[in-house]
Amino acid sequence: MAPATNSTDRTQRSKDRVIIFDTTLRDGEQSPGCSMNMEEKLRIAEQLDRMGVDVIEAGFPIASNGDFEAVREVARVVKNATVCALARAGRKDIDRAAEALQSRAGPKRIHTFISTSPLHMKHKLRMEPEQVYQAVIDSVGYARNLVDDVEWSCEDGSRTEHDFLCRTVEAAIRAGAGTINIPDTVGYATPDEFAALIAMLFNRVPNIDKAIISVHCHNDLGLAVANSLAAVKAGARQLECTINGIGERAGNAAMEEIVMALKTRHDRFGCDSVIVTEQIMRASRLLSSITGFAVQPNKAIVGANAFAHESGIHQDGMLKHAGTYEIMTPESVGLVKSTLVMGKHSGRHAFKTKLKDLGFELDDQALDDAFQRFKDLADRKKDVFDEDLVALVDDEVASGHDRIKFVALQVMCGSQGPQKATLALAVDGAERTVTATGNGPVDATFNAIKALFPHEAKLQLYQVHAVTEGTDAQAEVTVRLEEKGRTVNGLGADPDTLVASARAYLNALNRLLIKREKSAPAALSA
Ligand code: KIV
Ligand code: ZN
C-alpha cells in the first residue's frame, strides 16, 4: 500500500501549522434547530472555502438522501478545501461516503469512526474490545482502498483506556489512516488531562509520526476551546470545530475562538492556521441568518458586544490607546464600522456594490427583491445603516425558496381587546387572506398563520431585538417552533415588529416543512 496521505499536504507539513477541520455542516447541522437545506449548505461551504478552511466535513452520507446529495454537491462546488464525508465503521457506510465524493476532482477524505470507551463498546455497540480492534483495521483498510486520505476517530476517545487507545491508534495508522482524531465526545475532559492524553499518545504509539493528530472537543463543560488549545500545546495539529460553536448539545469548539486565540497568542502556542480571519464575521452572520440561531451578545469574537466599550473608564482608555482594552482589532475579524449607507435616492448599482462590500452576492431575482425592500425601508426609516441592510438581506435570502410567503398584514391592537390580525399569505403561489383574534397582537398574528396553514408545531421561543438604535429601528425577530421532537428556528426583520414576527414565524414554518421531508434513520448516531 502507498504511504498514507493527507490531502491537506499543500500547506500542512510545517510543524507550526494547525489544520482547521470545520464540521459545521455535519456535527453542527446535527444540533437541534440547525438543519439546513441543500442551497444553504452550499452557501456555508462556499464561505468556509473562501475563508481558507482546510477540511470541510460536508455530512454523513448514509444518514439520509438529503445528506448524501449535500455532500455530493459540496464536493462539486468547493474549490480548495478537502471535502470530507463521515462514515461509521461498516462497509455500507464507507461505500456511501465514497460514492458521495466520487465525482470530486479536488482533494477528498473519508472520515470513519467507532467508539473505543468501555461504556460505549459495552452499551452502545455491544461489542467486545477485540471486535472493535478488528473493525478499526477493516474499516480503515477498506476506506483506504477507495480514497487516499482517510481519517479515523475513536468516539469517546477521552474516556477510553490508555492501553486500548494506543493499540487502536497504532492499528489505524498501520491500516492507512493519515489523520487520527481523538474526540472528547461528551465534553468531559479538562485541559490538563486532555493535553496529557495527547502527550501520552505521542510517547507510546510507535508509528505516531506517520499521522496528523487531531482533536474534536464538545463544549458540555464550556471547555471545548480550552481543551483544543491544550491539545495543540501537546502536539495536535488538526482542530475540529464549527462556526459559532454550534453542534450536538452544548456544541463544538468554536472556530472563531480557536483561530483568534492561535493568532492573538502566538507567543504561547507558536502555531498558526491559514484562516482569513477578516472573513469570520461574515461566516458567523451567514450561519445565524441561515439557521435562525442568534449569537449571544457576549459571545467571544462574534458577539454583538465583543468589541463594544460601555463604561466611561474603558471608553476613556480606548480613546487614549486602543490597546488598553482591545487585544485584537474589530477589523481583524471582519467587523467594519457601522456606516450610514444610502438613502431612498440610491440606485440599484450602488445597492449592489454596497451588498458586495458587506459580503453578499445575490442572483438577479434576489437582488431585485432585496432592492425593492431597501426602497420601502428607506421610505420609512430616516437613516439606513449597514446593520439594516444585513438584516434585510438575511431575511430576504432566508425566505427566498419558501413555500409559504408573507404578503400583507394589518393589525388592530391597543388596550381594548380582542386584538385582531388580517393576514394575507401565498401558499405554493395561491394567495389567501384571513382575520384572526388573539390575546395580544402577536398572538393574533400567529393565530392567523395557523388558520391559513394549520399545523401542530408549538412555539418554544419568541425573541425581538432592535437592529440599530432609535424608535424607527428595524426589529429582528427569532421564533423557535417544535413539532414531534423536531426543532427549527426562524428569523424575520422589518421596521414593524409584527411584520417581522410574522416573517420569522413563517421562516420557521417553512424550515419545518423541509425537515418533515428529510427523514433520517433514528438509529444513526455520530
Ligand atoms: O463527537 C464525536 O465523537 C464525533 C465523532 C464522529 C468524531 O462527532
Ligand atoms: Zn462530535
Sequence ranges of the domains in the chain: 21-290, 338-398, 401-519
Closest ligand 1 atom to residue 27 Cα is 8
* Position 519 confidence tier, pLDDT thresholds 50, 70, 90: very low
With a 6 Å cutoff on the Cβ, whether 184 touches ligand 1 is: no
**Residue nearest (by alpha carbon) to ligand 1 atom 6:** 526
- Residue 131 and residue 115 in contact, taking contact as beta carbons nearer than 8 Å: no
Which numbered ligand comes closest to the C-alpha of 113?
Answer: 1
Find the helix or strand (DSSP H, E) in which 155 lies.
Answer: strand 150-155
Using alpha carbons only, give the angle 161, 166, 168 rounded to the nearest 5 degrees.
95
To test the pocket of ligand 1, the residue of 139, 185, 218, 238 to mutate (highest count of ligand atoms within 8 Å of its CB) is 185
| For the ranges 144-148, 389-393, 518-522, the one whose mean pLDDT is highest | 144-148
Residues in the chain: 526
For the segment 234-254, the average pLDDT, to the nearest whole number, is: 97
Q: Is the CB of 183 under 6 A from ligand 1?
A: yes
Question: What are the φ/ψ torsions at residue 182 (nearest 5 degrees)?
Answer: -110, 100
Pocket flag, ligand 1, residue 289 (CB < 6 Å): no
Ligand 1 atom 8 nearest Cα: 526
**Which amino acid belongs to residue 117?**
S
Q: How far apart are the CA of 79 and the centre of ligand 1, in A?
A: 26
Question: pLDDT per residue over 321-332, tens digit each?
Answer: 888 888 999 999
Ligand 2: centre distance to CA 319 (Å): 43
**Mean pLDDT value of segment 504-523:** 73
Quickly count: other Cβ atoms within 10 Å of residue 373's Cβ.
17
- CATH fold of 401-519: Double Stranded RNA Binding Domain (3.30.160)
Q: Quick one: which ligand is closest to 181's CA? A: 1
Is 526 a pocket residue for ligand 1 (Cβ < 6 Å)?
Answer: yes
CB atoms < 10 A from the CB of 37, how many? 17
Q: Is 145 exposed, middle or buried (0-12, 13-18, 19+ CB in 10 A)?
A: exposed
Locate cell 394549520: which residue? Answer: 454
Spacing, Cα 186 to ligand 2 middle (Å): 8
Task: Encode pLDDT of 163-177 as tens digits.
Answer: 999 999 999 999 999
Q: 229 Cβ partners below 8 Å, 6+ apart?
A: 191, 258, 261, 262, 269
**Using CB atoms within 10 A of its CB, is residue 424 exposed (0-12), middle (13-18) or buried (19+)?**
middle
In the predicted structure, residue 28 carries a pLDDT above the cut 60: yes
Least confident of 51-55, 190-194, 495-499: 495-499
525: pLDDT strictly greater than 70: no
Using 50, 70 and 90 to split pLDDT, how confident is the model at 122? very high
Q: Across the strands, what pairs with 181? A: 153, 214
From the candidate CATH numbers 3.40.50.300, 3.90.190.20, 3.40.190.10, 3.20.20.70, the one assigned to the domain spanning 21-290? 3.20.20.70
Q: In what side-by-side order are the strands of the sheet with 419-427?
A: 404-412, 419-427, 430-438
Domains 21-290 and 401-519 belong to one CATH topology: no
- Residue of 67, 86, 88, 153 to mutate, ligand 1, most atoms within 8 A of C-beta: 153
For the ranges 255-269, 344-358, 430-444, the lowest mean pLDDT is seen at 344-358
What's the mean per-residue pLDDT of the chain? 90
Distance CA 493, CA 501 (A): 8
**What's the pLDDT score for residue 437?**
96
Question: Which atom of ligand 1 lies closest to the CA of 113?
Answer: 6
